[in-house]
Structure 1
């Protein structure tokens, strides 16, 4: 069954089946993580848990191990025993990396220098469903120390990869997912970053803690005033010819598109 896109995604460790159901209840889409969240010694048990405790495949993604990992073959054998159709591939670096997952909807994770350079090629892969970028793995791959400044802002190279991932995904008609917010108690900072993600054009944002999901949902959900404006603009567009004025502003094709997107996010 195909994944049905929604904006608020949540990671859960694959070796914690006791958290699966709660994660599914609290988020739009759950990512069962077999990579960073699970120690090598626990990966086999995590695979068994994913088989034994199935979730709704239209709202679940499995993050497998990287293309060059010794664990990927076993991950693929496990997937064949499930109904899951969506897979997150970490450290995606070339379009060809996705061919081993040809039967799946792939969320390609851009988190290395090579992946960032080849991001458009990855986005063009036929089975690329969405692109996400990862800040800390990226900085580690570059040999740096932190993706953010002391003030909490992303460094320029992280901003560049964030923007490049968004541009490549949207240019090829794929969904774009913003990276996690790592400062768990700082919900105000998360709200600001999630709002920027929405206004920049990201399709959703991934979280590592359940408390982040409502913040992300609020950011992606239009306010009553935004929805009122958008619906009024679209209603007028049905009777007007060409550009027209509304509430003192000229409404043309780009603003009509904004209105359509606002209404779509309200669904």
Structure 2
């Protein structure tokens, strides 16, 4: 049996409403890399308590196989946030997603709240980046990753459009700064970055175009709102076979005795530096992790 890859694919991060028992059951067989069981936007106020209980049962019973499982709680200053957080800690998912965070101080308070609730140190904290101040302070927010459980950002452009009065066009021209700022801050501090949802789940071509845009910008994957979007996200964010083949050739070439200690070599007719070796190793590791997740269920 191959050793587990240090990388975990997050090509597709699917939001599933916590109040919908059928959706939670269906999630057990979907080809999503990550499931985000939602207690916030997808759940009406009078259904919050029931959704909390349903998500607790589903996560505690480990129904989702090898898929990464995150729980999106309500904001801690809402009537449901504290109870959501306590439940999520007791359920012990892979991570907790918190909406409406605006500053680094909030992240530190969230981390302290998790510790007081008995959360494990490896419980990942994910933040929705969906408020104007969060974008303006994204560097300071990312910088507390070293002292907190902060693991990654999930972009929320629907809320950000509402807050900024921006128009969400197909090319997302209004959000070009936001997209790049989130990726740069994440990479500067070793965090993951997941792109925002695409609202029209029937528009496969539009989704593919937006996934490709996000991939080019450096995002790790796409958050999704419908199972019909999984195939496109998984395909676009998977390394192309030709790229993986070239990456393996780069790794092999640098391992040859005659190339030992060299900073630049030639591979397949291309000048190749050590920085290309590092990227090749990452690409192969991601490809292997995807293969493992596909065969592992």
TM-score by length of 2: 0.81
| Partner Cα separation in structure 1 for residue 48 and residue 192 of structure 2 | 29
The answer to whether the aligner puts 1:90 opposite 2:138 as a matched pair is no
1:108 to 122, 127, 136: 127
CA distance in 2, matches of 1:56, 1:122: 31
1:202-237 Cα distance to aligned partner (Å, 9 max, x none) = 122111111111211111222221111111111111
**Structure 1 unaligned spans of 5+:** none
Give the structure 1 partner of residue 141 of structure 2.
122
Would the aligned equivalents of 1:67 and 1:91 in 2 still touch at CA under 8 Å?
A: no
Closer/same/farther in 2, CA of residues 85 and 233 from structure 1, 3 Å limit: closer
2:42 matched to 1:37? yes
Question: Matched residues in 1 for 2:230 and 2:42: separation?
Answer: 19
Cα distance in 2, alignment partners of residues 261 and 199 from structure 1: 16
- 1:97-116 CA distance string (max 9 Å, x none): 22234434111111011111
Is residue 15–residue 38 contact of structure 1 (8 Å, CA) maintained in 2? Answer: yes
Contact kept? 2:14, 2:224, Cα under 8 Å:
yes
Contact persistence 2:73–2:99 (CA under 8 A): yes
C-alpha RMSD of the superposition: 1.9
**Cα distance 1:60–1:192, how it changes in 2: closer, same or farther (>3 A)?**
same
The match for 2:285 is 264
Q: Does 1:6 align with 2:24?
A: no
Partner SS, residue 53 of structure 1: helix
- Could you give the per-residue CA deviations for residues 20-75 of structure 1, whole angstroms, max 9, x where no partner exists? 13223211111110111111111111111112333449621000112322221121
Q: CA deviation at 1:147?
A: 2.2
Task: Give SS of 1:81's match.
Answer: helix
Relative to its length, the structure with more helix (as a share) is: 2
Task: Please give the alpha-carbon distance, in whole angstroms, between the structure 2 residues aligned to 1:164 and 1:65.
Answer: 25
Aligned to 1:213: 230
Q: Does residue 52 of the first structure (1) align with residue 57 of the second (2)?
A: yes
CA distance in 2, matches of 1:172, 1:234: 26
Preserved CA contact (<8 Å) 2:34 2:70: yes
Please say if residues 56 and 87 of structure 2, whose CA atoms lie closer than 8 Å, have aligned partners that are also in contact. yes
Q: How many residues align?
A: 259
Q: Hey, what does 1:16 align to over in structure 2? A: 20
**1:138 alignment partner in structure 2:** 160
Q: Distance in 1 between matches of 2:27 and 2:149?
A: 26
- In the alignment, structure 2 segments of 5+ residues that lack a partner are 1-6, 289-297
